[in-house]
Amino acid sequence: MEKGVNRKRTAADLEAIGVEMGNLPPQALDVEEAVLGAMLLESSCVDAAMEELTPACFYDKKFRMIFEAMSSLVIEHTAVDILTVSDKLKQRGQLEEVGGVIVLADMSSKVGTAAHIEYYIKILKQKDIQRSLITASYQILHDAYDETIKVDDLTDTAQTRIYDAIQSNARKEVKEIGAIINEAMNDISEAQTAVGLNGVPSGFETLDRITQGWQKSDLIILAARPSVGKTAFSLNLARNASVDHHMPVAFFSLEMSSVQLAKRLMTSESGLPAEKIKGGSKLEPYEWKQLEYKIRALANAPLYIDDTPGIPIMEFRTKAKNLVKNKGVRLIIVDYLQLMQGPAELRGMREQEVAAVSRTLKATAKELNVPIIALSQLSRQAVNRQGGNGKPVLSDLRESGSIEQDADMVIFIHRPDYVGISEEPGDKEKTQVIIAKHRNGETAEIDMVFKSSMVRFVETNETLDSQAKMSYASAMNNDGRPFDPNVPGTGGGMPVSNEF
């Protein structure tokens, strides 16, 4: 849907729909007249109306013209009264169409009191939302009968239309600084008394120490070139939060199936070679026991996976909202951003579509008050860049500068051997997790090792604070002792059950 179509619908359109449906469109003409009359009498009413109303809030065409004339006067810093409004309408050639100066004079005389302006404004906004929903629903009904429209486009457009109709009048109240400071003081107080992190743990000590966990309403972009380990790292993050800390996590996979993701998680959780989990070689009997025991916690973790390919951004938003409301999800991961479908009207305009997806992800994180980690591809600039160390920079983010702009944090995964800087055998698994942008904190480079055979990242920094490690360490960062079916403490020496 073209953005703003509902807001530009004329009364004639709604009247035609009303005739077809056998009802008059929602309207309150006497209230419209009262609001305009109050604006002619009191400058405070002009400010209140201009802050809350748009021309579409007025159903009557004449009243809409008058309000638009008043809006022009406000923009020109001209006082709003009968003379100025009539002069502006005359300039536009609309004075006779609205009924002349006598209509304006009659309008101001009918207002009993301007004290009820807020109540009148609320009524007009309600009527406008009703009309917008009627128009959106009618358009959805009309499109649903059109066999030439793809179902995916139909559902995407339908969600967008309803969302736009509802959000068009949603305004957040302005807060006084005193109230905001009280909220900030409460947050600081909670952070000072809390044990551990004030956000969702990543499970990696250095990363958590810098970020204090993934923060509410943040959009975190996790970017790298293909096959560097974005999905593996994001699965580590999902696993650490859901298994070690029992925090519900939603994982939207647009590239890999849920079974493929589960096998990766089972590989990293069990410590068994990936080729055995994939079936490339056979599991020994004790390895079956190891697998069954090790994945129990994973099987009971509050981790929810959606593997809808090419999910439209509005469908994602709806599902995310339901997961937060019904499952208490604390972290959302999207793999990956460029595979999401933007608004239908932007298809074919790739940069604008990706920008719309990025904006919606940030808006969703803010609305749901949860962190969203969105994986993103990097361009080949970092690989082809002459000289330097081959590390990615913010300008390498692919397809849209809006990604960098919308993100609260941008994290790169850098593998020197991947870009051909190092060919030493010992450097093959060396990885740097680079915090390149951090709106609310410091940037940093964290040395890690990617154990590809176990789909697991571990930190290599041996100077990690031991107390911090005890507070929010992750099993993902500790290989532990080898599994022995007869030795307690390694996962062995315990009865094995097929029931998780």
* 210-241 tens-digit pLDDT: 888 888 889 998 988 877 888 888 888 998 88
Strand partners, 311: none
Q: DSSP letters along 204-270, please?
A: -HHHHHHHSSBPTT-EEEEEE-TTSSHHHHHHHHHHIIIIIS---EEEEESSS-HHHHHHHHHHHHH
Other beta carbons within 10 Å of 384 = 9
pLDDT of res. 333: 92
CA distance 498 to 496: 7
Q: Return the sign of the alpha-carbon dihedral for residues 456, 457, 461, 466.
A: negative
pLDDT of res. 383: 61
From the candidate CATH numbers 3.40.710.10, 1.10.860.10, 3.40.50.10540, 3.65.10.10, the one assigned to the domain spanning 6-167 = 1.10.860.10
pLDDT of res. 196: 67
- Cβ atoms of residues 98 and 89 within 8 Å: yes
Fold (CATH) for 200-477: Rossmann fold (3.40.50)
Could you state, in order of their start, the residue ranges of all structural domains in the chain?
6-167, 200-477
The tokens 């070689």 sit on which residue?
281
Enumerate residue ranges in the chain where pLDDT < 50.
1-12, 462-482, 485, 487-489, 491, 493-500
Of all helices (H) and strands (E), which one includes residue 74? Answer: helix 61-75
Q: Which listed residue (42, 52, 68, 255) is catalytic?
A: 255
pLDDT of res. 5: 40
CB under 8 Å to 25, separation ≥6 — which residues?
11, 14, 15, 17, 18, 59, 131, 134
Active site residue 255: yes
pTM: 0.64
Q: How many residues does the structure list for the chain?
A: 500
Which residue, 53, 59, 63, is CA-closest to 169? 53
Tokens describing residue 390: 């081959």
